[in-house]
Amino acid sequence: MSERFDLIVIGAGPGGYVAAIRAAQLGKKVVCIDKRPALGGTCLNIGCIPSKALLDSSELYSLAQHRFARHGIQVGEVGLDLPAMLKRKDAVVKNLVDGLAYLFQKNGIQVVTGTAKLESPGRVTVQQFDGKTATLEGDAVLLATGSAPVIVPSLPYDGKHIVSSTEALNFEKVPEHLLVVGAGYIGLELGSVWARLGAKVTVLELLPRILPGMDAEIAGAVQKSLARQGLKFHLGTKVLGATVQGDQVVVRTQHDEKESEFQGDKVLVAVGRRPCTEGLGLKELGVATHERTGRVQVNESYQTSVPGIYAIGDLIDGPMLAHKAHEEGVAFAEKLAGKAAHVNYGAIPGVVYIWPEAATVGLSEEQVKEAGKPYRVGRFPFQASGRAIAMDETEGLAKVIADQATDRVLGVHIFGPRASDLIAEAVMALEFSASAEDIARICHAHPTLSEGLADAARAAYSGKAINLYLGR
C-alpha cells in the first residue's frame, strides 16, 4: 500500500473502532488493522456481547423454570437446547460485526487484516495471513490492542479442561461441576450463566471478599444473592495447582494454612487481564510502559513517550472496560483533529451483568472513609418499590453516598433489577457535580425502578425516603 494515512489504528475493538470512526467523521483518512478478520475486538467477538447474549438467554431459561408460575404462566416442562442457545449468541455477534463492517465502509475506513508491528513512529508493517507483508505509513499511529487473560502458572490453560472466558462461552455441554477461579466480573457473570443452565458452580477467590473495588455492602449483597442461586463461594482461598485426570480436573487450594482439593470437569480461570503489548515493537522504539503493570504510559492527549504514537483502552491505566476505551477513542480522535475533549475518569460506571445486576459509579463507601471525607448515605431497598413489586423483582438496594458538607454525590451503587440502565442517571449526576437533593428533586416517572434511586438520594440528603419509613 503506497497511500499515506492521517491515522493508522492498530486494533478494532471498542477503543480502536470508535477512534477510527470518530477520526473519519472529522475528515481524517484512516486505516484500521486487526489480526482477527471480524471487526469488534474481544468485546464484540469473545467478550461483552456474546456473554450478554448468554446471560440473557440463561436468565430467560431460569425465569421460565422458576418464576413464570408466580406470574400465573404455565409452560410445562422447560427444556434446554444448548446448541440453539449458542447459535443465537453467534448470530448476535455476527449481526454486530457485520454492522461494524458497514459503518467502516460508509465512513471510508480501510481495513487490513493481519498482525501489526511498529517499525518507526509513522510506519507499520502488517504480517498478513497469506504470508505477505503490507507496509502502512501515516502521521499518527494509535495502539488499541486491548488485553488478554492473565496466565496463572499453577493453572495452565489447555483450552479444554482449564479454560479462559473465550472457551467458557462455548462449552458443548453444561459442565457438571464448574470451578471458577476469581470472583470478579468474568467469574461471576459466566459462573451465573452455567449455574442457571444446571451446572454446579464453585468459586475460588484469593481475597476475603468478592468483586474487589466494588462497594463492600453491595458486594456482600451480591454474594448472598448468588449463593441463594446455588453458587458456592470459597474466599481467602489460594490455588496451588491443578491436575487433569481423565475428564476431571483436581484443583489444590490453601485456606488458612489448610490444604484442600476441589474436583470439577471444567475450570474457568478469570483472575484479571493483562495489556497486549507483545510483538508491537514498543521496546525497540522506546515506548515507555509502567514497570509493574506493563501498561503503556500516555499523556492527557493519549500520546505515548514517542511523539506520533498514541495508546488507549486496556493498554493504558484505568479500568479495563469497553466503555472506558470507547470514551478514550472519541476523546483521542477529537484531540487529534484539534478539538477539545476529555474523559471524566471519576464518572466511569461499572456493571456486573448477573441477575439482579450490580452497577456502580464514583467512590465506594470504603474509599470515601479512607479519604477521610465526612459523608452521608441513603439507601432504598427495591422491596419497597411499587414497580419492583409489580415485576416480582424486589431483591437489592440503591445506595447514594453524598458529601456531608456540600451534599455533592460522591458515589452511587445499585444492586437490583436493571441496575445497568439505572446507573446512567447516577453517571449524569456525577458528571454534572449534582447533589443528592438534585437527584431527589428530579421528577421520576411512576411507577419505575428509578424512583428507588430518587428515594435513596432523598434519604441521603434529608434522612427520609418517601416510600420507606426510616424513623421520625
Footprint on this chain of ligand NAI (rule: CB under 6 A): 152, 181-187, 189, 204-207, 212, 239, 270-273, 319-321, 351-353
Measured from the CB atom, the residue of 8 and 320 that comes closer to ligand NAI is 320
C-alpha to C-alpha distance for 253 and 234, rounded to whole angstroms: 10
Q: Smallest distance from the beta carbon of 211 to ligand NAI, in angstroms? A: 7
Q: Smallest distance from the beta carbon of 459 to ligand NAI, in angstroms? A: 28
145: closest CA among 10, 284, 289?
10
Which residues fall within 8 angstroms of residue 73, CB to CB, at 6 or more apart? none
Q: Smallest distance from the beta carbon of 50 to ligand NAI, in angstroms? A: 11
Measured from the CB atom, the residue of 22 and 273 that comes closer to ligand NAI is 273
SS3 11: coil
According to DSSP, residue 345 is labeled G
Measured from the CB atom, the residue of 270 and 397 that comes closer to ligand NAI is 270
Q: Smallest distance from the beta carbon of 150 to ligand NAI, in angstroms? A: 7
411: closest CA among 364, 370, 367, 457?
364
C-alpha to C-alpha distance for 409 and 393, rounded to whole angstroms: 26
Cα–chain-centroid distance for residue 9? 22
Which residues fall within 8 angstroms of residue 468, CB to CB, at 6 or more apart? 380, 381, 384, 455, 459
Q: Smallest distance from the beta carbon of 313 to ligand NAI, in angstroms? A: 11
Q: Which of 234, 290, 444, 446 is catalytic?
A: 446
What are the two backbone dihedrals, phi and then psi, of residue 354, each rounded to the nearest 5 degrees? -80, -170
DSSP characters over 110-123: EEEESEEEEEETTE
* Cell reading at 391: 415485576
Q: Smallest distance from the beta carbon of 348 to ligand NAI, in angstroms? A: 10
Measured from the CB atom, the residue of 348 and 439 that comes closer to ligand NAI is 348
* Cell reading at 326: 470507547
Q: Torsion over CA of 176, 182, 185 and 189, rounded to 10 degrees? A: 10
Measured from the CB atom, the residue of 320 and 439 that comes closer to ligand NAI is 320
Cell numbers 493481519: residue:
114
* Cell reading at 138: 501515516
Measured from the CB atom, the residue of 191 and 378 that comes closer to ligand NAI is 191
Q: Which residue is nearest to ligand NAI (CB)?
A: 184
Does the annotation mark 446 as catalytic? Answer: yes
Q: Catalytic residue numbers?
A: 446
